[in-house]
């Protein structure tokens, strides 16, 4: 029995057998071979290419009905690349020169090729295709299973070095008992998705893939952030009890608070919205007492389908959410695709970039794909007559960008008008404040929009230069950093001065230790995973705004992150007693 400690990102306990997914683009160790094995390695490479091409043909047959005919061309390109004579010559040359194993030679040649493609902007878009064929060859040569479109015969616990959000979305519902992976942080998109899907998940588990074999019995405790391998009966019984207690206390909390308002001790009303990724979560939000949807991450419509949704598909998703939530609001965020929320080369919109989080992500990608953006805006406007819909633009960095997004929205309005579609003419428009530059300029933005939503996940990532999904630097991902808090305070004040509502929709708003601080800074709207709405409500009902203000002013004078955390943890613990 072994225990691995990581970061619990989606509560719940699961027991099951491990299904280990080898990571894509895993570095291949150079393996040298004796001279007399050269010909065998050349043959092994040739057979791997044949098998890879067969695999592509299989995928083509399987996926074309789902992705549409236009994606056939991508499969054909991959086949051509693999079949290329000069690629084979270079790999064989490396095998002989090493002499080295086929996978090591192929890896070297393909990496050089990727480097060359990256150097030229016009060829960089091919990089993801080379990655694709590279990982296909690796899997065949090393006999590993792929993370793409994994089909699980039996329910299992997924163990991986890294899973992308698209891979997570693609799993068949009900087959994934839990997720345990080495990469990822608390605010990584895969963590957010696992939580939305109700799959217990632990991320940041160093050494996990080396310590777990396929078929090992595992316990995953998504609340405590623990994975236990090959547990004995006593441990198993202990975790079954933990799971039972969690379910029971969640149910009691919902029952106890459902009819009560989210208000502080002196009766100050606070609004609790829910963040959702999938349409069915609207019902979860209502069941948990949320007063609206504060963030609808629509990019999952794209990722679930593995292709661009049609206008009608967008419309249906938004119409049903708006109708079910009515008269409560539904804030629909336009596509935040790109970076980790990219689909792969079988239909994804994103070409590989050296720094995808700083690249063509989110609103930038929408400007690059006007047709896709307009189809979504048309659908949102059309859905606006079926409920209370608002539009939220993500990752806005400059006023020029905001103006461009609003101009496109105005064009779409005109088009719908001409075509005779009904829509709400004054749909409220907001921006996410999630780039430090936008937070600094919050007063200027406040004059141009109807509301702000502070995305602390990205705001922290960009302010502190720390990848939100990288466990190696997860200690540096600090909401308590004074720079982050100053940007949040400035944004709340700018919103207040302009008389527009400000919400926080990043994970920080669901963290009880930051609740007092945010209330003390003047925040009155929170948008969180619907599952924590009851807990948040209970905490709010114990808080005095005066006290929260005092704590916030003490913290804002504090330059030390550690001391700030200490103050907030102690005060929130006292409060929850």
Which residue number, 343 or 362, has a Cβ lying nearer to Mg ion? 362
Residue from 207, 247, 256, 197 nearest 223 by CA = 247
Which residue number, 276 or 548, has a Cβ lying nearer to Mg ion? 276
Alpha helices in 204-232 (DSSP H): 208-211
Which residue number, 455 or 495, has a Cβ lying nearer to Mg ion? 455
Residue whose C-beta lies closest to Mg ion: 458
In 3-state terms, what secondary structure has residue 277?
coil
Shortest Å, Cβ 434 to ligand PEP: 5
Which residue number, 226 or 336, has a Cβ lying nearer to ligand PEP? 336
Report the number of secondary-structure helices (H) and strands (E) in the chain: 23, 16
Residue 448 backbone dihedrals phi, psi, to 5 degrees: -105, -10
Residue from 362, 396, 342, 335 nearest 125 by CA = 342
In 3-state terms, what secondary structure has residue 97?
helix
Q: Do residues 178 and 158 make contact, with C-beta atoms less than 8 angstroms apart? A: yes
| Neighbour count for residue 565 (Cβ, 10 Å) | 17
Which residue number, 19 or 335, has a Cβ lying nearer to ligand PEP? 335
Respond yes or no: is residue 244 known to be catalytic.
Answer: no
506 binding partner (options Mg ion, ligand PEP, none; Cβ < 5 to 8 Å by kind): ligand PEP
Which residue number, 162 or 457, has a Cβ lying nearer to Mg ion? 457
List interacting residues with ligand PEP (CB under 6 A): 192, 295, 297, 336, 434, 455-458, 505-506
Shortest Å, Cβ 173 to ligand PEP: 21
186 lies in the site for Mg ion, by CB under 5 A: no
Shortest Å, Cβ 392 to Mg ion: 11
Which residue number, 101 or 484, has a Cβ lying nearer to ligand PEP? 484
306 lies in the site for Mg ion, by CB under 5 A: no
Q: Partners of 159 in the beta sheet?
A: 20, 180
185 lies in the site for Mg ion, by CB under 5 A: no
107 lies in the site for Mg ion, by CB under 5 A: no
Among 315-323, 348-356, 434-442, 541-549, which window interacts with Mg ion (CB under 5 A)?
A: 434-442
Shortest Å, Cβ 513 to ligand PEP: 17
| Neighbour count for residue 551 (Cβ, 10 Å) | 22
Shortest Å, Cβ 519 to ligand PEP: 18
505 binding partner (options ligand PEP, Mg ion, none; Cβ < 5 to 8 Å by kind): ligand PEP
**Is the CA virtual torsion 462, 463, 464, 465 positive or negative?**
positive
- Tell me how far apart the 2 most distant CA atoms of the chain are, in Å: 83
**Is the CA virtual torsion 110, 116, 118, 120 positive or negative?**
negative
Residue from 537, 528, 529, 543 nearest 256 by CA = 537
Which residue spans within 168-240 are E strands per DSSP?
Answer: 176-181, 201-203, 217-221, 226-229
| Neighbour count for residue 267 (Cβ, 10 Å) | 8
Respond yes or no: is residue 189 known to be catalytic.
Answer: yes
Shortest Å, Cβ 576 to ligand PEP: 24
Q: What is the CA radius of gyration of the chain?
A: 25
Binding mask 452-471 for Mg ion (x = CB under 5 A): ---x--x-------------
11 binding partner (options ligand PEP, Mg ion, none; Cβ < 5 to 8 Å by kind): none
Three state DSSP letters for 245-268: HHHHHHHHHHHHHCCCCCECCCCC
103 binding partner (options Mg ion, ligand PEP, none; Cβ < 5 to 8 Å by kind): none
Q: Do residues 205 and 220 make contact, with C-beta atoms less than 8 angstroms apart? A: no
Shortest Å, Cβ 394 to Mg ion: 6
Catalytic residue among 138, 189, 314, 386: 189
Positions annotated as catalytic residues are: 189, 505
For Mg ion, the binding residues (CB under 5 A) are 434, 455, 458
């Amino acid at each position: 029995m072994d225990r691995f400690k990581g970061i619990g990102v989606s509560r719940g306990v699961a027991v099951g057998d491990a299904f280990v997914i080898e990571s894509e683009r895993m570095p291949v160790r150079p393996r040298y071979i004796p001279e007399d094995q050269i010909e065998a390695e050349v043959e092994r490479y040739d057979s791997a290419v044949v098998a890879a091409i067969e695999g592509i043909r299989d995928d083509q047959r399987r996926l074309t009905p789902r992705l549409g005919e236009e994606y056939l061309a991508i499969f054909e390109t991959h086949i051509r690349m693999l079949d290329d004579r000069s690629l084979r010559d270079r790999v064989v040359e490396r095998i002989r020169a090493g002499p080295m194993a086929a996978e090591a030679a192929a890896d070297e040649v393909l990496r050089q090729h990727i480097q060359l493609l990256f150097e030229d902007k016009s060829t960089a878009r091919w990089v993801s295709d080379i990655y694709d064929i590279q990982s296909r060859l690796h899997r065949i040569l090393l006999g590993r299973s792929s993370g793409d479109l994994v089909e699980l015969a039996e329910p299992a616990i997924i163990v991986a070095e890294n899973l992308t959000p698209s891979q997570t979305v693609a799993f068949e519902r009900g087959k994934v008992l839990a997720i345990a992976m080495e990469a990822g942080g608390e605010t990584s998109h895969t963590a957010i998705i696992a939580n939305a899907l109700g799959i217990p998940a632990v991320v940041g588990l160093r050494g996990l893939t080396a310590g777990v074999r396929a078929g090992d019995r595992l316990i995953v405790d998504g609340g405590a952030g623990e994975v236990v391998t090959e547990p004995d009966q006593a441990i198993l019984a202990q975790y079954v009890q933990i799971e039972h207690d969690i379910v029971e206390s969640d149910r009691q909390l919902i029952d106890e608070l459902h009819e009560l308002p989210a208000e502080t001790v002196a009766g100050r009303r606070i609004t609790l919205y829910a963040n959702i990724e999938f349409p069915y979560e609207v019902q979860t939000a209502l069941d948990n007492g949320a007063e609206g949807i504060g963030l609808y991450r629509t990019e999952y419509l794209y990722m679930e389908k593995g292709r661009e949704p049609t206008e009608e598909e967008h419309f249906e998703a938004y119409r049903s959410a708006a109708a079910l939530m009515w008269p409560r609001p539904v804030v629909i965020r336009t596509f935040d695709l790109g970076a980790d929320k990219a689909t792969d080369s079988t239909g994804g919109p994103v070409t590989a970039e050296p720094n995808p989080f700083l690249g063509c992500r989110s609103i930038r990608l929408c400007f690059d794909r006007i047709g896709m953006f307009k189809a979504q805006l048309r659908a949102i406007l059309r859905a606006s007559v079926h409920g209370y819909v608002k539009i939220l633009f993500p990752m806005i960095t400059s006023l020029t960008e905001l103006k461009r997004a609003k101009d496109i929205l105005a064009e779409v309005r005109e088009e719908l008008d001409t075509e005779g579609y009904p829509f709400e003419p004054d749909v409220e428009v907001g921006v996410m404040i999630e780039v430090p530059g936008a937070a600094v300029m919050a007063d200027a933005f406040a004059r141009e929009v109807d509301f702000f939503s502070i995305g602390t996940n990205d705001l922290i990532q960009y302010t502190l230069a720390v990848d939100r999904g990288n466990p190696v630097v997860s200690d540096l991902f600090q909401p308590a950093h004074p720079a982050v808090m100053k940007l949040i305070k400035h944004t709340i004040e700018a919103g207040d001065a302009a008389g527009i509502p400000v919400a926080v929709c990043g994970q920080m708003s669901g963290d009880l230790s930051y609740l007092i601080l945010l209330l003390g800074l003047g925040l009155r709207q929170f948008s969180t995973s619907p599952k924590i709405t009851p807990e948040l409500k209970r905490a709010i009902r114990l808080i005095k705004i005066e006290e929260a203000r005092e704590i916030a002013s003490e913290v804002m004078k504090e330059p030390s992150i550690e001391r700030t955390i200490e103050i907030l943890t102690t005060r929130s613990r006292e409060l929850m007693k």
